[in-house]
Chain A
């Protein structure tokens, strides 16, 4: 059955186009959406089995993908709680987005191609989350990147869509550069790329001998030479993998593609660029939790980048006018939360936020899509206002999404083992408290993340309510024609939002106990590694040190060891963290502050009047231009790359290599002396190039001479 959960979307992707051609677009829509419904049901069954029911973790091997010596990568399906959570998120949101798209795409045509891409994306994402080795994970990683590229550029007539698609792909490739090196480094150190072997070796601290080295060391202390410096092996691996995660999850420095990706159709933004693909980086870090637990410097980097992203993206979100871009920056910011949670070791909180975020962010995006359709494809919220009267139901759903993301609830109150509040309230508070606790425990950047997380929470509330107030409330600023005749939004677009809204309200309360509360031990069942600091001893003595599958047994055992202590702690605070009251209340106050500021500004007087930041001012310009990242990258990287390529072509290949080579020889034969004159009046870089060639010759010569004596 597990196989169908992964393969049904693939069948959908393969058949969507031919079926569309033979039986019309409706058939291909129904086919892919039907497959997704079955896959989603299957995913929930797996989730109930493995996650909630305590069913056994399992890996279903299919066949060998790449096998070259010790480098062995299988096609396989790894089913544990971590992948089950992802299966549920991916398949549920994907099904709802398929359903929604049946309505959304009506205006645009080309449904079979669109649904084929959506299903292809889903399949790639599923191979990613069910991978049992790094290479299959990389396959899914690149596969979702491809689907994202195709869907961002879906309107391929538009120049901006094509630009955005290429940008997304290339920026992601920068991340993949790190990821690929990470995989190579893992193989170099462990001689394997299987999760079980790698994670087992780390948890058991078994002896690792990197390729070609005479002696190894226990893996947790091992240093390797990377780029001519000696580094802690796990830190190198952790940082390299995280660079990959930064690309896919649009973290600071590699975030620039995500806002542009809004060129894609809105359902795509909801599925790929909010709920699922962009969370792959968080998943990766959580999957590799054992690496980060023993690589504190890498974990510190995760915390730092996550916290900065959460803050940065929120500041930019404050001034965006495009409804989709606001939600995009909000996504970027929320991903930052997930990362710093993982960075401080609160992997369960990170995964919890990933889970709840999928509901409310998909809801916000799909709701925005309904608004855009209703307003005749208008995306500028300054040209909206008063949409509440035209689209009351959409308004209610969007408000639900907003109270979910900003987090409304009662801090400190715990009923039946769960706090009371919207999804974002529960999961975000867990993260902020986790960061505070990490700071208390002396973990790097813990307080830093806590502070930036709170500031970002203020801004989150501000920009989220700003969106609601400017779009739905106040007098309408839309043109007469739009106001009188808003575009009808089909029911197929509204129905899928209802389950998302329910999730946005209730997912936090409903799953609190399992993800982070008292039942979390049995729920995760070792899928997220927890370092048992006080039980260091049994780790090193573990007999199954380097055996296959050691990690599972090991993690289970450490869990047993630490279970008593943790259970005590859990009972003490009703399943929550052990934090001072002011910390407990601080996210709530942050939310109130942000909401209040938004209300003060946008609910009185002219909502478009300048606020604290005057247009034209420096900070305004800085934020409005997204901290000038695009301009800087364009100036420092993109333009020079093209110019340098042209230079190498014309001057390097043309004038120098050919000039000295065939053309030169020929010319020499033809008119010997003339050539010499020409060389002397030549340009500086010709000499530089000749020198480069000369150095190559010289090195060759030296190599011969050096070896000649033997």
Chain B
């Protein structure tokens, strides 16, 4: 049984839709301006002012949302295992409700989202020059959708947010992505459009299956209330197909091998803030989905398919780490390392053990800080030099000591150095894996060796050595805005590295409940 506590005020709705209000206000301001027949604002002064306003509104609203989320967290009772702050109103009728709520599995991802967004806006402050207002609108809409994903307690509502988040991300990559062309399906197109299309194609494929599964479940149970669905016992045969349909969608989002190839392209083409959101939050939706749906709703299928997940996770860890070794583009390298790190998440989650699941959750949280920060770091030099090629750099530490220090810290976090948050998730998920089967832990631990090799290689080639390249001679160190963003992320990664207790204790009741239901279902299913 899963308990739920209703809230008398719609706190989560307020939190979710606050960014949307910001987006609307930017739209309204723009509608009031005079435009020519192509929709271009006539007065360049007014256009510039609209851009400045958009930046300020976006930063103000995202910061405000973060404060609201802290308020929500203050109301949150971390000792309660079920759903809380629940809001429920009839929506489309016929058992489909507008239902929001959070538990120990989702609340910290809500906070992660609201925390990362102001940093994203700040990092786009100067680097985005064209269509600034549209860009800010896209980010604000995206934030609403992402918070919605973690708060939705109705499957249909979840689907709406989950798939909806695809659209602003698609635009962010396709419109504000980098230059270059690529031939695809016989057409020559900008490579950012190729990346966006690829991102879209992959995720769409998974979504369609998810939609079909959802329709079937609705027909079977008569409601899309997640709590009810979690308590409903699907037949073992049906569980398999449903599990596979959900898997198709979440595996692409994670992403798991072999449906990961959209990620490096998307990261490379996306603007810095797009990469940060992608790495820090969008990738977490897959892992969240596994924990919210696959494990509680289809426990028997989850247990049966666990070996498949282990195999794919291990392949992801070793394969993508090896691929990362060979990369020449900074962003691609970090993107591949993200896939490897997500391998630890899926591996941990499907062990069904306390350490494995908490390790997976913690790894997602930590990866949000660390890989988000690494993409910001790439953005810092990209803004200055307009290239992400590793070979274009070298000896930066001579000119950018602060940058080098922070980059080193996040590199170490990526490598899983104890004392950074990166270590906690890795070791816990491996401990969980060892309990299930030592082979899994054995192979996963290989990733620990390889991660050191590729991450330190990157750091060394960018930072160390003589500063010989003419173009780098005058490169300035971090400005205050960059230092602030990276510094805050570092403090979090460091604090959680030494004292992960605050996060683990939030996960703990929900994970305990999940495991006890999971074990009971397996015992009931004769396994």
Interface residues of A (CB under 8 A from B): 63-71, 75, 135, 138-139, 142-143, 146, 149, 153, 156-157, 159, 162, 165-166, 169-170, 173-174, 176-177, 180-181, 183-185, 187-188, 211-212, 225-228, 641-642, 644-646, 648-649, 652-653, 657-658, 661-663, 665-667, 669-671, 693, 696, 699-700, 703-704, 707-708, 710
- Across the interface, B323 reaches (CB within 8 A) one of A153, A649, A670, namely A649
Across-interface contacts of A187 in B (CB, < 8 A): 431, 434-435
A710 touching B526, Cβ below 8 Å: yes
Q: Identify 24 residue pairs between A and B in the complex whose beta-carbon atoms are under 8 Å apart, listed by A's number.
A: A63-B499, A68-B355, A71-B355, A142-B418, A156-B465, A157-B465, A159-B465, A162-B464, A169-B456, A181-B438, A227-B439, A228-B439, A645-B325, A645-B326, A649-B327, A663-B185, A666-B185, A667-B186, A669-B185, A700-B308, A704-B240, A707-B236, A707-B300, A710-B526
B325 nearest in chain A by CB position: A645
B526 touching A662, Cβ below 8 Å: no
* Surface stretch bound by A, among B153-161, B275-283, B440-448: B440-448
Looking at the assembled complex, report how far the CB atom of A376 sits from the nearest CB atom of chain B, in whole angstroms: 22
Of the listed residues B304, B436, B452, B501, the one surrounded by the most CB atoms of chain A closer than 10 A to its CB is B452
B464 touching A153, Cβ below 8 Å: yes
Over the window 423-460 of chain B, the binary record of Cβ atoms lying under 8 Å from chain A Cβ atoms (1 yes, 0 no) is 11001101101111011011001101110110011001
Looking at the assembled complex, report how far the CB atom of A478 sits from the nearest CB atom of chain B, in whole angstroms: 29
Within 8 A of A (CB), among B397-432: 397, 412, 417-419, 423-424, 427-428, 430-431
CA distance A149 to B508 in the complex (A): 36
A645 touching B417, Cβ below 8 Å: no
Looking at the assembled complex, report how far the CB atom of B523 sits from the nearest CB atom of chain A, in whole angstroms: 14
B354 touching A69, Cβ below 8 Å: yes
Across-interface contacts of A173 in B (CB, < 8 A): 448-449, 452-453
A667 nearest in chain B by CB position: B185
Looking at the assembled complex, report how far the CB atom of A150 sits from the nearest CB atom of chain B, in whole angstroms: 9
CA distance A227 to B438 in the complex (A): 6
A166 touching B498, Cβ below 8 Å: no
Across-interface contacts of B261 in A (CB, < 8 A): 653, 657-658, 661-662
CA distance A649 to B412 in the complex (A): 24
CA distance A330 to B237 in the complex (A): 66
Across-interface contacts of B244 in A (CB, < 8 A): 700, 704
A708 touching B237, Cβ below 8 Å: yes
Looking at the assembled complex, report how far the CB atom of B81 sits from the nearest CB atom of chain A, in whole angstroms: 15
Of the listed residues B311, B359, B417, B419, the one surrounded by the most CB atoms of chain A closer than 10 A to its CB is B419
A177 touching B460, Cβ below 8 Å: no
CA distance A236 to B458 in the complex (A): 35
The verdict on A693 contacting B499 (CB below 8 Å), with A181-B434, A181-B442 known, is no
Looking at the assembled complex, report how far the CB atom of B403 sits from the nearest CB atom of chain A, in whole angstroms: 14
Looking at the assembled complex, report how far the CB atom of B439 sits from the nearest CB atom of chain A, in whole angstroms: 6
CA distance A700 to B237 in the complex (A): 14
Q: Is B73 an interface residue (CB 8 A)?
A: no
Interface of B is mostly: helix
Q: Is B500 an interface residue (CB 8 A)?
A: yes
Across-interface contacts of B498 in A (CB, < 8 A): 65, 75
B405 nearest in chain A by CB position: A17
Looking at the assembled complex, report how far the CB atom of B243 sits from the nearest CB atom of chain A, in whole angstroms: 10
Of the listed residues A68, A159, A180, A646, the one surrounded by the most CB atoms of chain B closer than 10 A to its CB is A68
B453 touching A170, Cβ below 8 Å: yes
Looking at the assembled complex, report how far the CB atom of B231 sits from the nearest CB atom of chain A, in whole angstroms: 21
Of the listed residues A135, A159, A166, the one surrounded by the most CB atoms of chain B closer than 10 A to its CB is A166
CA distance A644 to B318 in the complex (A): 11
Within 8 A of A (CB), among B154-196: 184-186
- Across the interface, B448 reaches (CB within 8 A) one of A66, A180, A646, A670, namely A180
Across-interface contacts of B197 in A (CB, < 8 A): 662
- Across the interface, A662 reaches (CB within 8 A) one of B198, B353, B463, namely B198
Looking at the assembled complex, report how far the CB atom of B456 sits from the nearest CB atom of chain A, in whole angstroms: 5
Q: Is B319 an interface residue (CB 8 A)?
A: yes
Across-interface contacts of B358 in A (CB, < 8 A): 68-69
Across-interface contacts of A653 in B (CB, < 8 A): 261, 264, 323
- Across the interface, B305 reaches (CB within 8 A) one of A166, A667, A703, namely A703
Looking at the assembled complex, report how far the CB atom of B445 sits from the nearest CB atom of chain A, in whole angstroms: 5
Looking at the assembled complex, report how far the CB atom of B503 sits from the nearest CB atom of chain A, in whole angstroms: 11
Across-interface contacts of A67 in B (CB, < 8 A): 501, 504-505
Across-interface contacts of A661 in B (CB, < 8 A): 202, 259, 261
Q: How many residues of B contact A (CB 8 A)?
A: 80
A646 touching B445, Cβ below 8 Å: no
A157 touching B395, Cβ below 8 Å: yes
CA distance A642 to B452 in the complex (A): 14
Across-interface contacts of A159 in B (CB, < 8 A): 465
B240 touching A644, Cβ below 8 Å: no
Q: Is B324 an interface residue (CB 8 A)?
A: yes
Across-interface contacts of A652 in B (CB, < 8 A): 319, 323
A176 touching B448, Cβ below 8 Å: yes
Over the window 497-517 of chain B, the binary record of Cβ atoms lying under 8 Å from chain A Cβ atoms (1 yes, 0 no) is 011110011001000000000
A695 nearest in chain B by CB position: B311
- Across the interface, B427 reaches (CB within 8 A) one of A66, A69, A162, A645, namely A66
Across-interface contacts of B198 in A (CB, < 8 A): 658, 662
A65 touching B499, Cβ below 8 Å: yes
Within 8 A of A (CB), among B181-226: 184-186, 197-198, 201-202
Q: Is B258 an interface residue (CB 8 A)?
A: yes
CA distance A173 to B448 in the complex (A): 7
CA distance A469 to B500 in the complex (A): 56
Across-interface contacts of B499 in A (CB, < 8 A): 63, 65
The verdict on A71 contacting B326 (CB below 8 Å), with A661-B261, A662-B201, A669-B185 known, is no
A181 touching B441, Cβ below 8 Å: yes
Looking at the assembled complex, report how far the CB atom of A151 sits from the nearest CB atom of chain B, in whole angstroms: 14
The verdict on A66 contacting B452 (CB below 8 Å), with A162-B465, A693-B258, A707-B304 known, is no
- Across the interface, B435 reaches (CB within 8 A) one of A153, A211, A696, A703, namely A211
The verdict on A181 contacting B445 (CB below 8 Å), with A139-B419, A157-B466, A645-B323 known, is yes
B449 touching A146, Cβ below 8 Å: no
A177 touching B237, Cβ below 8 Å: no
CA distance A69 to B348 in the complex (A): 14
Within 8 A of A (CB), among B436-495: 436, 438-439, 441-442, 445-446, 448-450, 452-453, 456-457, 460, 463-466
Looking at the assembled complex, report how far the CB atom of A254 sits from the nearest CB atom of chain B, in whole angstroms: 12
Across-interface contacts of A180 in B (CB, < 8 A): 427, 430, 445, 448
- Across the interface, B460 reaches (CB within 8 A) one of A138, A166, A184, A670, namely A166
The verdict on A648 contacting B460 (CB below 8 Å), with A703-B308, A710-B526 known, is no
CA distance A646 to B327 in the complex (A): 8
CA distance A653 to B322 in the complex (A): 12
A641 touching B322, Cβ below 8 Å: yes
Across-interface contacts of A64 in B (CB, < 8 A): 501
The verdict on A212 contacting B427 (CB below 8 Å), with A169-B456, A710-B526 known, is no
B326 touching A649, Cβ below 8 Å: yes
A166 touching B457, Cβ below 8 Å: yes
Across-interface contacts of B439 in A (CB, < 8 A): 227-228
A226 touching B323, Cβ below 8 Å: no
Looking at the assembled complex, report how far the CB atom of A675 sits from the nearest CB atom of chain B, in whole angstroms: 11
CA distance A211 to B435 in the complex (A): 6
Of the listed residues B324, B434, B466, the one surrounded by the most CB atoms of chain A closer than 10 A to its CB is B434
Across-interface contacts of A142 in B (CB, < 8 A): 417-419, 423
Looking at the assembled complex, report how far the CB atom of B477 sits from the nearest CB atom of chain A, in whole angstroms: 14
CA distance A149 to B465 in the complex (A): 15
B453 touching A708, Cβ below 8 Å: no
CA distance A649 to B445 in the complex (A): 21
CA distance A699 to B312 in the complex (A): 12
- Across the interface, B418 reaches (CB within 8 A) one of A63, A139, A646, namely A139
B201 touching A665, Cβ below 8 Å: yes
Looking at the assembled complex, report how far the CB atom of A167 sits from the nearest CB atom of chain B, in whole angstroms: 10
Closest 4 CB pairs of A and B: A666-B185, A69-B354, A184-B434, A645-B322
B236 touching A710, Cβ below 8 Å: yes
Across-interface contacts of B450 in A (CB, < 8 A): 641
- Across the interface, A169 reaches (CB within 8 A) one of B240, B452, B466, namely B452
